Amino acid sequence: MPTDPLTDADPTPSSPVSPADIRAAATVIGPHVITTPTFAIAGSDIGVPAVGTVVFKLELIQQSGSFKARGASHAIATRSISAAGVVAASGGNHGAAVAWAARRFGHDANIFVPTISSPTKVDRLRSYGATVHQVGAVYAESLLEAERFEAETGASSVHAYDDPVVVAGAGTTGLEFDAQAPDLDAVLVSCGGGGLIAGISSWFGDRIDVVACETHTTTAYAAALEAGEPTKVEVSGVAADALGATSIGAVPWAALQANDVASALVDDDAVVEAKDFLWDRFRIVVEPSAAVPLAVLRSGAWQPASADATVGVLLCGANTALS
């Protein structure tokens, strides 16, 4: 069972983010972000008899529609921002968060997104006043264009996940979850470039099992585990607009290795089924990437060691059309 994080030792020094960093980030961003709620249900009631209790954290109602608001607001609030404003590359959610945080703190935002980004996410970027540049087929190509823009204009870059300040902000999700559900034995988290799960695993350390959930066509972390280091992968499928990083970030990789994070993979059909289940059972709308942890649980791709375990499932975003 989890112990008190305020008295636990920080994880191994090789981790780039500590619980102390996350506590400090929570103090900075507390006035700006939402403390998102949780609810618990018996595993047998949602088709997961191998789990005693499932606790959902509804991060989908966060500012800008996803957990990304935490890292973006932490970075923009704690750094000196150029007169040219901020620039970011994103599959959509990070861009929306940066655009939202930039407006909140009085800065211009230029956001670069790939052509696979959903129109819903692009519209949300524009609703926050960002200038949107839709270039490149995948996130990595948009990132190159964002870096070129940064070099030309001097705009301040906010990386989606490969930045310890952003990771510390994302880690406040874990701090909250721990306080709301102190009996967690494990937590399942979607993984793209790795910023969210790096932050959450840096909070929990080895006190509970932390599982990185990906699809078979978005495997940045699973491929890195197999290779023993970050490696490039091809990305596609229903969750690619949010989990479409072609490699795990260096900062997240260091954190995930330090905290011994497990990996679980599911196919697209299981993700769609989980997404539909959340709507049918709870009237909760999530984007496909946010349904991946529940898909892992419902498909049996990962199971806890004990049938009476309490397992957290993070629903990390809802930037999607109702249809």
Per-residue pLDDT, 89 = 87
The reported pLDDT for the residue numbered 129 is: 92
pLDDT of residue 320: 78
Question: Within 13 A of 179's CA, how many CA atoms are on the CB side?
Answer: 12
Q: Where in the chain is the domain with CATH 3.40.50.1100?
A: 19-65+163-315, 68-157
Q: CA–CA separation, 19 vs 206, rounded Å? A: 12
pLDDT in tens, 193-208: 999 999 999 999 999 9
d(CA 107, CA 104): 8
- Whether residue 7 is predicted with pLDDT greater than 80 in this model: the reply is no
Dist CA 24 CA 205 (whole Å): 17
Q: Is the pLDDT of residue 4 over 60?
A: no
Q: What's residue 180's pLDDT? A: 98
Q: What is the average pLDDT value for the chain, to the nearest integer?
A: 92
Please write down the HEC assignment for all residues of the chain: CCCCCCCCCCCCCCCCCCHHHHHHHHHHHCCCCCCCCEEEEEHHHHCCCCCCEEEEEEHHHCHHHECHHHHHHHHHHHCCCCCCCEEEECCCHHHHHHHHHHHHHCCCEEEEECCCCCHHHHHHHHHCCCEEEECCCCHHHHHHHHHHHHHHHCCEECCCCCCHHHHHHHHHHHHHHHHHCCCCCEEEEECCCCHHHHHHHHHHCCCCEEEEEEECCECHHHHHHHHCCCCCCCCCCCCHHHHCCCCCCHHHHHHHHHCCCEEEEECHHHHHHHHHHHHHHHCCCCCHHHHHHHHHHHHCCCCCCCCCCEEEEEECECCCCCC
Confidence of residue 323 (pLDDT cuts 50, 70, 90): low
Average pLDDT over every residue of 161-168: 96
pLDDT in tens, 78-99: 999 999 999 998 877 888 999 9
What token pair was written down for 225? 């585990």
pLDDT value, residue 240: 86
| High-pLDDT (> 70) share of the chain, % | 96
**What fold characterizes domain 19-65+163-315?**
Rossmann fold (3.40.50)
Q: Domain 68-157: give its CATH architecture.
A: 3-Layer(aba) Sandwich (3.40)
Question: Rounded mean pLDDT of 208-225?
Answer: 97
98-133 pLDDT tens trace: 999 999 999 999 999 888 777 887 888 899 999 999
pLDDT digits (tens, 9 = 90+) for 231-274: 999 999 999 878 888 899 999 999 999 999 999 999 999 999 99
List C-alpha distances in Å: 315 to 189, 287, 288, 319: 8, 9, 10, 12
